[in-house]
Amino acid sequence: MNPRANARRLRHEQTKEEKELWHALRAGRFAGFKFRRQHRVGKYYLDFYCPAAKLSVELDGFQHGLPEQRQRDEEREEFLAAEGIEELRFWNHQWQKNREGVLLEIWNSLHRLTGCMAVMRKVQNHRYIPPQVEQLKGSFRQSTS
């Protein structure tokens, strides 16, 4: 199957959790950062990828806990690291039980990978504000005064 058709198939076969996370990340809704779904890097398809931060976000089901899959995930993580891409992995049940925590961890990674200035410029026109942004804004103003 050609890579584009495979990516399209993967987008149509998303889990409920992936659909919900995509709704939070899509169309620049997440602090203005653009994410791609099922983005191909080498032989791997990344569930969600932010090119500006070189951040991959994965939601994993139970199969990723199996020894043979864990080995493949480690190889994939090494490959992505060599490409300069950081990977965040969450279990589906983490998303189900603690969405705010998952989104906050993604936010913190975006902040760390792009720097405070980049994130603060994007904060103005976004639809999702993590709970700690008000504190972040205050400390940002103080540090630049």
Which pLDDT tens digit goes with each residue over 1-25?
776 665 565 555 678 899 999 988 9
Give the CATH number, domain containing residue 132: 3.40.960.10
Which pLDDT tens digit goes with each residue over 99-131?
888 988 998 899 899 875 444 445 555 555 554
Alpha-carbon distance of 94 to 96, in angstroms, equals: 5
Domain range for 77: 3-144
pTM for the full model?
A: 0.72
How many domains in the chain? Answer: 1
For the record, the structure tokens of 34 come out as: 């653009």
CA angle 28, 34, 40 (to 5 degrees): 145
